[in-house]
Amino acid sequence: MAKQAGSTIRSVRGSRTGRPIMALLDLLGRRWSLRILWELRGEPLTSRALRTACDEASPTVLQARLSELREAGFVELGDAGGYRLTPLGRELCETFMPLHRFAERWKR
Partner DNA sequence: TCTGTTGCTACAATTATCGTAGCAGCACGC
Partner DNA sequence: GCGTGCTGCTACGATAATTGTAGCAACAGA
Instruction: Give the DSSP per-residue string, 43-93.
Output: S-B-HHHHHHHTTT--HHHHHHHHHHHHHTTSEEE-TTS-EEE-HHHHHHH
Question: Nearest to residue 95, comparing CAs of 4, 5, 6, 28?
Answer: 28
Residue 63 binds DNA, judged by CB under 7 A: yes
Residue 107 binds its own copies, judged by CB under 8 A: yes
Residue 61 binds DNA, judged by CB under 7 A: yes
> Torsion over CA of 92, 73, 35 and 61, rounded to 10 degrees?
160
Residues 72-101 that bind its own copies (CB under 8 A): 72-73, 88, 91-92, 95-96, 98-100
Residues 21-50 that bind its own copies (CB under 8 A): 21-26, 28-35, 38
**Integer Cα distance of 105 and 25 in angstroms:** 24
Q: Which of its own copies, DNA, none sits in contact with 3, Cβ below 5 to 8 A by type?
A: DNA
The minimum distance between CB 85 and DNA, in angstroms, equals 14
Residue 20 binds its own copies, judged by CB under 8 A: yes
Footprint on this chain of DNA (rule: CB under 7 A): 1, 3-5, 10, 30-32, 46-49, 56-61, 63-64, 66-67, 77, 81-83
